[in-house]
Chain A
Amino acid sequence: MTIKEQKVKSTEKVGETEEKSEEPRIGVFVCHCGHNIAGTVDVEEVAKYASTLPNVVKAEHYMFMCSKPGVQMLKDSIEELGVNRTVVASCSKNQHGRTFANTIQEMGLNKHRHQQVNIREFDSWVHQKEKEKATLKAKRLIEAGVNRARKLQDVETRKISTTKAALVIGAGIAGLRASNDLAELGIPVYLIERKSTIGGHMTQLNKTFPTLECPQCSISPLTNGVANHPLIELYTNAQIKEVEGSMGNFEVEVEIKPRYVKDNCTSCGECAANCPVEVPSEWDSGMSMRHAIYKAYPQAIPATYVRSKKDCIECNTCVNVCPVQAVDFSMQPETKRFKVGSIVVAVGYDEYDPSEIEPYHYKQEGYENVLTQLQVERMLAPGSLTNSQVLRPSDGKIPKNVVMIQCVGSRNDQVGNKYCTGVCCKFAVKNARIIKEMYPNSNVTICYIDVRTPGLNFEELYKSAQEVGVRFIRGRPSEIIKDPVSGELIVSVEDTLSQTPLLLKGDLVVLSAAMVPPEGIGPLGSKLQVLRSKEGFLKEFHIKMNPTLSSKGGIFLAGAIQGPKDISESVAQAGSAAAIAAAPLVKGYIEKEMLVPSVDLDLCVRCGLCKTVCSPAAIQMNDDGTPMINEIACKSCGMCMPACPTGAIQLLNFSDEQLLDEIIAVSGGGGVCADD
C-alpha cells in the first residue's frame, strides 16, 4: 500500500504547546444569535448556571459572539483572567467553531482547547415551542461542553508535503477548462476521458444560448490548447481503476483501453470508407451511422481513428487498406499509475432516457417522430445527414407542427427526479426560435409547466421566441396519441391557463429531457470515496460556501456532475475547482492536525484487534506485537478504541475518560464532574 509510504518531509509545530498539568481555567460564552437562540433559550439563566460549574472563571452572554466585539470578549478573557480553555455555546462547529478556534490560536493557545457547543441547530431552532425544556437542554449541553473542555489536550499541526500534479477526470468543457487553468498555474495535469474524443456534450450542440454562437468555434481553441499543452497528458478511452491515499498525495491507477490504431494515423479515412459495418453513432445521438472503425466527427481530438472492438467483425479490411499500416488489432489495454496531489471530477451528465415514460412512446415503433432536444440539436448542426434541416425521421419531410414538451424527467416525482434541470427551458426556447425562423409556415408550440429563463439575456431570448411566433401552452402533456387513421401524432394537453383540454397535432414531438448523473458514476464515486446526493450527483461540501469541494478533501467537482448546469456555469465552476485544487500544490504542503491515537504499552495485550478495524490501514504491528500508528494515514475516526479489549489505545481528545465526562453531563448526571 502506498499510504504507508507517505513520508513527512518537514515537520513543524504550529501553535504553542503548554504544560498539561496546569489548572484548567474555562471561559464560557453564550451567544444570543439575535433572536435565534435568545428567543427560545433563556441565555441569561444559562450563563448564570455555567458560572457555577467547576473551573469556570468567566461565564457571559452576548448578542453575537461571532462579531468583532464578541471575539474580542474571548481575547480579553484570555488576557485578563488567564482563561486557557474556551467554550462558546452558539451555532454548529462547522459554522463558527473555526472562527473561535482561530481566535484563541491568535492569542497563543492551541486551537483544540476550544470547545464548540451547538445550542442553535441542536436546541433553539428545533425546540421553539418548548422554551423551558430548551433552556434545560442548553444547560446540559453547556455543562457537557465545560466537562469536555476541562481535559482537552493540545493537538499539534504538521505540515505534509504534497505531490505537484493533478488528475482531471472527464474531458468535457468543465474538465478541459479545469485542466487548462491548472496547467497555466504550472501544475502537470493528467486528463482522463472515458470516450475516444474530448469536448463532451458541448461539441454535439448546434448553437449555444443566449447569443446563438457556434459551440465548435468556442470550444476548439480550448480542445486544441489542452491537447497540445506541454504540461497536460491526455488519455482517452481511459477509466479509473483504483484510488489510494488522501488529500495532497493520491495514487491513481488508470486503465487505458487501446484505440487499435497507432499514433501514425494520418486520419485519411480510408479505413472507415471501406469498413462494412454500420452502427448508429453515439456522438450523433443516433441521428447518423458510423463504421466499426471511425472518427466521431471531423474536428475530433485526438484525430486518430478508433476501432470499436464490440462492433468489429474482424474482416481485416481496414488493416489492409491503411496506407501507413496504423491499424493494429493486437494492441492491449495498459494500466498506468499516477501520483497526484488533487483530483478534479468533471464527468458531466447524461441526457435522461425518456423511454421510461410510457405515455410518450419514445423509441417505440411507429413513434419515430418523437425525439429529444439533443437529437434535434444534432439534426440542426452543420454537416448533419439532413443538411442542417429539421425533418421528420419517419418520411424526411418538413414538419408542419412541432410540439416541444418540457420537464421530461425533471420536476417529475414519478420518475424520481424532483429537481428542475434549469437549462431545458432555455434550450427549448432557443431551438423553437431557430425552427420557427427556418420554417415560418410551421407551427411551433412549447408545452411548459413554468418557463424558467433567468439571467442576463435569457428573458430577451424568451421574448424573441414569442415575437417570431412560437406558441406557449401552460400544461404538462398527459400522452402522445397516434391517430389510427392518418397516423399523425397528437399531443394531449390541458391548457391550465384557460382550463381547456387540447389535442395538438404534432408531426414532430421534441422532448426536453432532463440532465441526469452519468452512467457509471456509482462505481467511480465509491472508488473516489465521495458522497452522492439523493439524485445521484456528487455531493458538494457546502452548497453555498464551497460548492466545488467534494465530501472528501483533495477531490473537487467541476461542472454538471455536481448538479445540472449550463456551459457558463460549468466553466465558472471548473475555474474555481482548478484554483482551489491548485492551492495546496502551489504552496507545496498541507497542514494536518495530529489528532491520532496513542497506545499504552503497559495495557496492550498485543492482540492486534486495532489493526483489523483500521480502515485506512494506519496501524501496523511491530515485531514484538505492539501496534505502530502511521500518523499521516490516520483519519482520526477512533474505531480502534472500542476494538481494544483493555482500553490501551485512546484517541487524543476523544478518549474514554474525556467522553465519560461529557456523557455524565448529557445523561443528567448533574453538576458533578468525574473525579480523578
Chain B
Amino acid sequence: MTEIECEVIEPEVLEKMENIVVFMCNECGQGSANTAGVARMAYNPAIRIVRVQCTGQVGPIQIMDAIDNGADAVACIGCCIGACHFFNGNILSMHRIKLLKKVFKELGYSDQFVNQYTARAGEGETAVGDFEDLVERLATAIREEGTVKDGC
C-alpha cells in the first residue's frame, strides 16, 4: 500500500482542531474504523467517533448539538451508496448534510464544518481517507475563515 502524503497542515491550525465529532453507522462505518484500528492506521486524534445505528438516524439536532457543545466539525460516515444496510439511510443523510451546508453558508459560516462520507467495512483505508479529507477540509476552512467558535 502506498501512502499518499497530504499537504502539511500547520501546527497552529491543527491546534484549533480539538474535537471533531464523527457519527459512524453501526455497520460499514464502525466496521471500517475497526479495520483501520486493527491495521494501526494512524489519524488525527481529535477524531471522536459516536456510534449510531445508521447515518440516517443523525438529524440536524444531533449535528447542531455537537457544534453547540464545542465540536469543531461534524461528519457522518455511512455505508457506500447502494450498500446501506437499511436501504437508503446514507442517502437520506447525504441530502440532510447538503441542506445543512446551505444553512451554514446562510449563517455566514464555512460549509466545510459538516460533511458526509462513505466507508467500507473491509477496508480501513476508506475510513482513514475520510478522516484525512475531513481534517484537510477543516484546515482549509480554518485558514480561510477561522473556526466555528470564532463565529468566523
Residues of A within 8 A of B (CB): 92-94, 118, 120-123, 125-130, 133-134, 136-137, 140-141, 144, 526, 529, 531, 533-534, 539, 551-552, 613, 615-616, 635-639, 641-643, 647, 651, 654, 656, 659-660, 662-664, 666-670
Contacts and interface: CB of A to CB of B under 8 A. Distances in A.
Contacts of B61: 642, 647, 656
Contacts of A643: 92
Contacts of B68: 667
A137 B45 contact: yes
A569 to B, nearest CB: 20
B135 interface: no
A637 B50 contact: no
Most B C-beta atoms less than 10 A away, residue of A92, A120, A123, A531: A531
A517 to B, nearest CB: 15
Given A539-B122, A641-B59, 16 more contacts: A94-B30, A125-B37, A125-B38, A126-B37, A134-B45, A137-B46, A137-B48, A526-B82, A529-B85, A531-B83, A635-B85, A642-B58, A647-B61, A654-B52, A656-B61, A666-B21
Contacts of A670: 70
A662 B23 CA distance: 11
A551 B85 contact: yes
B56 A638 contact: yes
A642 B93 CA distance: 9
A654 B69 contact: no
B53 A636 contact: yes
B42 A533 contact: no
Given A121-B34, A134-B45, A638 B50 contact: no
Contacts of B52: 638, 654, 659
Interface string B21-50: 100000100100110111011110110111
B103 to A, nearest CB: 14
Contacts of B45: 123, 126-127, 130, 133-134, 136-137
Contacts of B53: 636-638, 651, 654
Nearest to B63: A663
A123 B83 CA distance: 27
Nearest to A133: B45
Interface residues of B, number: 50
B57 interface: yes
B124 to A, nearest CB: 9
Given A125-B38, A126-B42, A668-B18, A663 B85 contact: no
Contacts, number: 154
Contacts of A126: 36-37, 40-43, 45
B54 A660 contact: no
A289 to B, nearest CB: 41
28 contacts: A118-B37, A121-B34, A125-B37, A126-B40, A127-B45, A136-B45, A137-B48, A141-B49, A144-B50, A531-B83, A534-B123, A615-B89, A635-B86, A637-B86, A637-B89, A639-B57, A639-B86, A641-B59, A642-B58, A642-B59, A642-B60, A642-B92, A659-B62, A663-B21, A663-B50, A667-B67, A668-B69, A669-B69
A642 B37 contact: no
Contact of B48 (A539, A613, A666): A666
Given A533-B122, A663-B65, A129 B33 contact: no
Contacts of A130: 45
A637 B53 CA distance: 5
A110 B83 CA distance: 32
Contacts of B18: 668
B56 A667 contact: no
B69 A664 contact: yes
B66 interface: yes
| Leading 3 A-B pairs by shortest Cβ distance | A121-B37, A642-B59, A638-B57
A669 B70 contact: yes
B71 interface: yes
A638 B54 contact: yes
A504 B21 CA distance: 61
A167 B98 CA distance: 42
A121 B38 contact: yes
A418 to B, nearest CB: 11
A343 to B, nearest CB: 17
B67 to A, nearest CB: 8
Contacts of B88: 615
B70 A641 contact: no
A128 B45 CA distance: 10
Contact of B56 (A127, A552, A642): A642
B105 interface: no
A667 B19 contact: yes
